[in-house]
Amino acid sequence: MKNQLLALSLLFCAACTATKEQSGESLGSVERMDPSIDALINADAQIELLGEGYSWSEGPLWIESQKMLLFTDVPNNVIHKWTEKNGVEVFLTPSGYTGTTPTVSREPGANGLTLDRQGNLLVCQHGDRRVSRYDGTFDKPEPKFSTLADRFDGKRLSSPNDLVVRSNGDIFFTDPPYGLRKLDEDPDKEIPFNGVYKLSTDGKVTVLVDSLTKPNGIALAPDEKTLLVANSDPAKAIWYVFDITAGDSLANARIFYDATAMVNETNPGVPDGFKIDKDGNVFASGPGGIWIFNSKGTVIGKVRLPDATANCALADDGKTLFMTSKNKLLRLKMR
């Protein structure tokens, strides 16, 4: 899709002041690149610090029934929870590697989280190299999981990263090599490519895309007719979009947005996790923070953050944005 970033920046660039950490360091700012951003984010919206001190925060998921946010610290093998009343607490450990022998994973913990249509927590587990269902409870958590997918064509997955559930129960997920010690060169990597997969309700795993270098974040459009995938490769920092055919293959592959030219030291991060709201607006981690696209793929604003940002989650009917940025958990009350 045509890059309109520079033109929009010249016309509409403005920023709202963010709150400060106790040290005085800025948490970030909102860059308003198109007037339509005003319908999503109020002019006085503030970025808030909810927690910090994590090795790499990821996988934020708002659970409305519990009024809590779950998020992962992948290197430390922990799922945390945040509530308005108690702040951040440990929810579950171990979260992604549950074995008893020393793990050989460079990032053993859970990564992406979502809920299935029955309200069960689904987890991408790096260390166990699987997509699993959490079988414990929210009020008394314990590390109990059932494997949903850990192999394709008889070979072990590398390190499932992110996932999304379709209304019929099918699960789409990505499998880059980030949990493996030597990434693509790791001797324990059994599948030669990094894939985008579908896990059907009957348990069948089907590869949908095998040509992306580092498939990462994944989401369905509100009408479930298209699939959006982030490629977290600095050399190909691209969001791709695919049409889903009647037979559930992917067709008409195309670039949603190419941010490769924006990857540099002043814009830390690459396309990673993202969410799509009910109107088709995309909130996507990328170079420099969270990029906000409208449903046509136009960048209408950014949440500028000083650190590489892994993911985000929407809550309160899309009025609140939670962000996992390096070692921090942040919140932006938008509307």
In CATH, the architecture of 5-333 is 6 Propeller (2.120)
Structure confidence at residue 3 (pLDDT): 42
Average the pLDDT over each of 18-22, 117-121, 228-232, 307-311 and give the range with the smallest value: 18-22
Report the distance separating Cα 320 and Cα 31, nearest Å. 17
Q: Give just the sign of the alpha carbon dihedral 38, 289, 157, 242.
A: positive
Q: Please give the Cα distance from 282 to 137 (Å, whole number).
A: 31
Return contacts of 261-267, CB within 8 angstroms, 24+ apart: 261/3, 262/5, 262/237, 262/286, 262/287, 262/288, 263/234, 263/237, 263/287
Residue 26 parent element (H or E)? none
- Give the model's pLDDT for residue 100: 80
Helices (H), the chain: 5-12
pLDDT for 137 beyond 70: yes
Q: Which pLDDT value is given to residue 25?
A: 65
Q: What is the pLDDT, as a whole number, of residue 66? A: 97
Q: What is the pLDDT of residues 167-198, one digit of tens each?
A: 999 999 999 999 999 999 999 999 999 999 99
Q: Report the amino acid identity of residue 99.
A: G
Q: pTM of the full predicted structure?
A: 0.92
Query: How large is the average pLDDT for residues 259-277?
Result: 97
Residues near 139 by Cβ (< 8 Å), separated by ≥ 6? none
Distance CA 309, CA 229 (A): 16
- Which tens digits make up the pLDDT trace of 122-133? 999 999 999 999
Q: If 0-12 CB within 10 Å is exposed, 13-18 middle and 19+ buried, where does residue 102 land?
A: exposed
Contact present, 225 and 251 (Cβ < 8 Å): no
Looking at residue 217, its pLDDT comes to 98
Bridge partners of 180, per DSSP, are 105
Q: Is the pLDDT of residue 102 over 90?
A: no
At residue 327, the pLDDT reads 98
Q: What integer is the mean pLDDT of 292-307?
A: 97
Residue 333 has pLDDT above 70, yes or no: yes
pLDDT at 9 over 90: no
pLDDT at 289 over 50: yes
The contacts found for 76-80 with CB under 8 angstroms, 24 or more apart, are 76/109, 77/108, 77/109, 77/110, 77/127, 78/109, 79/109, 79/110, 79/113, 79/123, 80/51, 80/54, 80/329
Cβ within 8 Å of residue 293, ≥6 positions away: 256, 257, 281, 282, 284, 299, 300
Domain boundaries, the chain: 5-333
Tens digit of pLDDT for each residue in 23-81? 446 799 999 999 999 999 999 999 999 999 999 999 999 999 999 999 999 999 999 99
Backbone angles phi, psi at 64, to 5 degrees: -60, -40
**Bigger pLDDT: 14 or 163?**
163
The 3-state DSSP class for residue 186 equals: coil
